[in-house]
Structure 1
Amino acid sequence: MAAADTLAAARPRANRTISWLVFAIAIALIMTTPFLPNYHVRVLNSLLIYILLGIGLNIVIGYTGLLDLGFVAFYAVGAYSYGLLASPQLGLHMPFLLILLVAACLGAVTGILLGIPVLRLRGDYLAIVTLGFGEIIRIIINNLDWLTGGPQGIARLDKASILGIQIARPIDFFWLLLITVLIVGTVVWRLERSILGKAWAAIREDQDAARGIGINTTNAKLAAFATSATIGSIAGAIFAASQRFVSPESFTLQESVLIVLMIVVGGIGNIFGIVAGAAILILLPELLREFAEWRILFLGLLMISLIIARPAGIVPRSFGPEKLIRGLFGK
Structure 2
Amino acid sequence: MTIQESKKLWIALAVGLLWFLALLWPLLGIKPEGLEFAKTFDIFLKFAVAGICIMAVYQIQQAGKLDSVGTPIRSVAEYIQTIYAKTPTWIMLGALLTAAIIFPLVTGRYAHDVASSVLVYICLGLGLNIVVGLAGLLDLGYIAFYGVGAYTYALLNVNYDMPFWLCMPIAGGFAAIAGCIIGYPTLRMRGDYLAIVTLGFGEIVRLILNNWMELTNGPNGVLGISKPSIWWFDFGDFTFETLMLKKLWMLYYVILAIAVFTILCVYRLNYSRIGRAWEAIREDETAAELMGVNTFLLKLLAYASGAVFAGFAGAYFAARMRFVGPESFTFLESAMVLAMVVLGGMGSIPGVILGVLALVALPEAFRDFELYRMFIFGGSMTLMMLIRPKGIWPAKRMGKRSEEMD
Do both proteins adopt the same fold according to a TM-score greater than 0.5, normalized to the shorter chain? yes
Structure 2 residue aligned with 1:122: 190
Unaligned 5+ runs, structure 1 = 1-7, 321-331
Structure 2 residue aligned with 1:98: 166
Structure 2 residue aligned with 1:56: 127
Task: State which drifts further: 262-271 or 148-157.
Answer: 148-157
RMSD: 2.2
Is the 2:101–2:253 Cα contact (8 Å) retained in structure 1?
no
Counterpart code for 1:135:
E
Inter-CA distance 169–300: structure 2 relative to 1 (3 Å threshold): same
Mapping of residues 1-331 of structure 1, within 5 Å: 12-16=82-86, 24=95, 27-87=98-158, 91-163=159-231, 164-318=242-396
Inter-CA distance 302–11: structure 2 relative to 1 (3 Å threshold): closer
Is the 2:347–2:394 Cα contact (8 Å) retained in structure 1?
no
Counterpart code for 2:215:
L
Counterpart code for 1:139:
L
Is the 1:159–1:241 Cα contact (8 Å) retained in structure 2?
yes
Tell me the distance in 2 between the aligned counterparts of 1:254 and 1:9.
42
* Bigger Rg, which one: 2
Shift of 1:165: 3.5
Deviation readout 1:143-190 (Å, 9 max, x if unpaired): 112221211211111122234342221111111111111112111111
Deviation readout 1:252-275 (Å, 9 max, x if unpaired): 101000001111111111111111
Is the 1:96–1:162 Cα contact (8 Å) retained in structure 2?
no
Q: When the two structures are superposed, what TM-score results if normalisation uses the length of structure 2?
A: 0.72
Describe the SS at the equivalent of 1:254.
Answer: helix
Describe the SS at the equivalent of 1:141.
Answer: helix
Tell me the distance in 2 between the aligned counterparts of 1:231 and 1:25.
21
Tell me the distance in 2 between the aligned counterparts of 1:274 and 1:247.
27
Shift of 1:32: 3.0
Unaligned 5+ runs, structure 2 = 1-77, 232-241, 399-406
Q: Kindly tell me the number of residue pairs found equivalent between the two proteins.
A: 310
Is the 1:62–1:269 Cα contact (8 Å) retained in structure 2?
yes
Tell me the distance in 2 between the aligned counterparts of 1:114 and 1:175.
32
Inter-CA distance 24–148: structure 2 relative to 1 (3 Å threshold): same
Is the 2:221–2:323 Cα contact (8 Å) retained in structure 1?
yes
Counterpart code for 1:16:
K
Which structure exhibits the higher relative contact order, with contacts defined as CA atoms closer than 8 Å and separated by 6 or more residues? 1
Shift of 1:21: 6.6
